[in-house]
Amino acid sequence: MGIIWTIIIGFVAGLVAKFLTPGRDPGGFILTTILGIVGALVATWLGQAIGWYRAGEGAGLIGAVVGAVIILLVWRAVAGRSTTAG
């Protein structure tokens, strides 16, 4: 059941992140879900590195959204740089 909740939270976090950062983004349901899940992993890693979360403790929905926004902004910076170079 934990995997299903991770996917659901990841999808919701991905949707909120895409809503908070306007602009064109590739991807549908799968990429939005992956964005949210990776955002949650990034938020957990950063939170543990800073000391906000203990080992084994994960980020919640807000942390996942913040992580997904960070991933989305990095994605746009890298994708934007590659399209202007060519």
pTM above 0.75, yes or no: no
Question: Stretch 49-59: mean pLDDT, rounded?
Answer: 77
25: helix, strand or coil: coil
Question: Stretch 40-57: mean pLDDT, rounded?
Answer: 79
Domain ranges of the chain: 2-85
- With 60 as the cut, is the pLDDT of residue 86 above it? no
The Cβ of residue 68 has, within 10 Å, a number of other Cβ atoms equal to 30
Q: Tell me the pLDDT tens digit for each residue of 58-78.
A: 777 888 888 888 888 888 788
Alpha-carbon distance of 76 to 62, in angstroms, equals 21
